[in-house]
Structure 1
Amino acid sequence: MAIHSHPILPSYGFTGHETFPFRLGWLHKGVMAVKDDPQIFSKDEAIVILGVGKNMVRSIRHWCLTLGLITDIGRGVYQTTPLGELVFASNGADPYLEDIGTLWWLHWKLSGNYERCTTWYYVMNYINRPEFSKTALKDELKKAVAESGGRAQSDRTLESDIECFVRTYTSPKRGISEESLECPLVELNILKENDKYIRLNRGEKNTIPDFIFLAALVEFFEKTNTGAKTLLAERILHNEGSPGRIFLLDDNSCIRRLERLGDLTKGKIVYDATAGMRQVLFHSVPTSLEILSAYYQRGQ
């Protein structure tokens, strides 16, 4: 069963994580290390400073880049981003991921990044059925790469990427589950895995704070903006890269969130359903970083 009619964008990534989903503490460590030494990832002592093996050092770098916490400014030099500083610096808002809102934001950044996390992006944006097998997913990714004229990926590469994707959202099966080995995103309960199938948990997500949904909506609006001050609700619910898609929301719970926007933004962004046209009006648009700052300040 084909699940998309248009191929993935030509730029994609199935490697870099060294088969490790990010672990608790990794993002804070990565941001702090770059803050102390912009060239840390090119140095042998990264192993000592980060306290992990060589391939995990590469994995930490991958996840910090993928999530937009650090940026590569060339020749093995990195710098922290405003998002990395806001959340993960030593005086950051949530360096140890104690706030569920941060976890949802990381999921948003991960699953919206087709260039570095193609499997994550593909599953959230293209799969419409409730469950699928890893084999079917592998075959579909191969097909998508071929259709976009990309370089063929080996079965092994795709299989380990799919495994890493699944382990981002589910606890490791083998042995005693050590929380330190789990990816913090397991807490989001986005995905279930049984012996044969992966099941997506689509529906209401009561744990997504409205501010986080708003920040995602603003990024989606900026990305798709054609100069208009409106966005059809249909696009927010179903379009590729939309909050409805990436947060796996059903239509009703997504609309309920849109209806709360006016109060949340003091009328700057409002949902309007008059004349049978469901749309969101953007009178004034804060940046996602401003919204995230406001979200963290609320709890002070």
Structure 2
Amino acid sequence: VGKNMVFSMRHWSTSTGVLDLIGNQRNKNNFRISDLGHFLFGKMGCDPYLENPNTLWLLHWLLASKPKRTLFYWLFNLYNQPSFNKDKLINDINNLIANHEEWKQVSVNTIGRDIDCLINTYTSKTLKKKLSHEDTIECPFAELGLITAQKQGEYLLKRDSRNSLGDGIFLYALVEFWKNYYSSAQTMTFEKVLHAEGSPGKIFCLDESDLDNRILRLEDISKGDLEWSQSAGMGQIIAKKEINLLDSFDCIKRAYR
């Protein structure tokens, strides 16, 4: 493995929480495999060869739910159009940077390369005869179907039913969203879970029907910790105990049982 590939592996491993940074110095001795990394990919890991779709959904969530991963976070949380192309994203990102004077200015070429990386992460490649074997390898995230290539460089970011998304990973995402944005609230509305920034509905691109089915099963999924209640025409999720007391990692484990 070459030097650039090592840096790339380290970047994606830390971005998804598979590696933890120890302290503030990013040298070769300041990283360790996280509890999540051991759970998924260790010697006794649940999915050492990345064969379970739940792992892909989990890693996608961990990547797209962190605001510091600006482009991934922005596309899956703040971008509200169903379709896009590279030039439009470059223009929108430039406008975003211009509105934040405290941000470091980035060249158009750098933004373009980052957008190419994002698109290649989530879309299947069109096979061409002259592509090398290495160039035909696609990211496993393409299996999730979150971004679909259309004609002439257009892409579709479509809400849909996510049949391969396990209830345990959905529950984990819901609990983390609740903790991060509404930790003092005992209730959560359907609309927030579907449309709010940082929500499972946004990051997993869930359609209303899929989310509705999951919410109706929530009491069973959460073993009674959360339940759906509808009275006087108002539907909401109720936390039966303080949300911060729920074990997020246990939700992940449920997806592999």
CA RMSD of aligned residues (A): 1.7
Structure 2 residue aligned with 1:252, among 165, 189, 209?
209
Structure 2 residue aligned with 1:271, among 219, 228, 246?
228
- Partners of 1:273 and 1:259 lie apart in 2 by 11
* Match in the other structure for 2:32: 79
Q: Summarize the alignment of residues 24-173 of structure 1 with structure 2, pairs less than 5 Å apart.
A: 52-74=1-23, 75=25, 76=27, 77-115=30-68, 117-149=69-101, 150-173=103-126
- Partners of 1:85 and 1:274 lie apart in 2 by 44
* Match in the other structure for 1:295: 255
CA contact (8 A) 1:100 1:207 kept: yes
* TM superposition shift of 1:216: 0.5
1:186 counterpart letter in structure 2:
A
Give per-residue Cα distances to partners, 1:200-247, cap 9 Å, x unaligned.
131111111111111100100110124121112111110001000000
Q: Are residue 186 (structure 1) and residue 139 (structure 2) matched? A: no
Which segment is superposed worse, 137-146 or 190-199? 190-199
SS in structure 1 at match of 2:255: helix
* TM superposition shift of 1:166: 0.4
- Partners of 2:169 and 2:133 lie apart in 1 by 29
Q: Summarize the alignment of residues 7-26 of structure 1 with structure 2, pairs less than 5 Å apart.
A: none
Q: Unpaired runs of 5+ in structure 2?
A: none
CA contact (8 A) 2:159 2:205 kept: yes
CA contact (8 A) 1:234 1:278 kept: no
Report sequence identity in percent.
38
2:113 counterpart letter in structure 1:
S
Change (3 A) 1:294 1:158: same
- Partners of 1:67 and 1:179 lie apart in 2 by 23
1:258 counterpart letter in structure 2:
I
1:57 counterpart letter in structure 2:
V
* TM superposition shift of 1:176: 6.4
1:68 counterpart letter in structure 2:
G
SS in structure 2 at match of 1:87: helix
Q: Are residue 204 (structure 1) and residue 161 (structure 2) matched? A: yes
CA contact (8 A) 1:125 1:245 kept: yes
1:92 counterpart letter in structure 2:
G
Task: Answer 1 or 2: higher relative contact order, Cα 8 Å, separation at least 6.
Answer: 1
- Partners of 1:121 and 1:104 lie apart in 2 by 15
2:190 counterpart letter in structure 1:
A
Give per-residue Cα distances to partners, 1:108-151, cap 9 Å, x unaligned.
11111221x21111111122222111111111111112212212
Which segment is superposed worse, 179-188 or 217-226? 179-188
Q: Unpaired runs of 5+ in structure 1?
A: 1-51
Change (3 A) 1:179 1:158: closer
Structure 2 residue aligned with 1:239, among 193, 196, 199?
196
Give per-residue Cα distances to partners, 1:170-217, cap 9 Å, x unaligned.
133342676983111111111112322111131111111111111100
* TM superposition shift of 1:288: 2.0
Structure 1 residue aligned with 2:172, among 208, 215, 218?
215
- Partners of 2:112 and 2:173 lie apart in 1 by 30
Query: What's the TM-score once normalised by structure 2's chain length?
Result: 0.90
SS in structure 1 at match of 2:22: strand
Give per-residue Cα distances to partners, 1:254-275, cap 9 Å, x unaligned.
1211111111223211111222
* Match in the other structure for 1:30: none
- Partners of 1:245 and 1:112 lie apart in 2 by 10
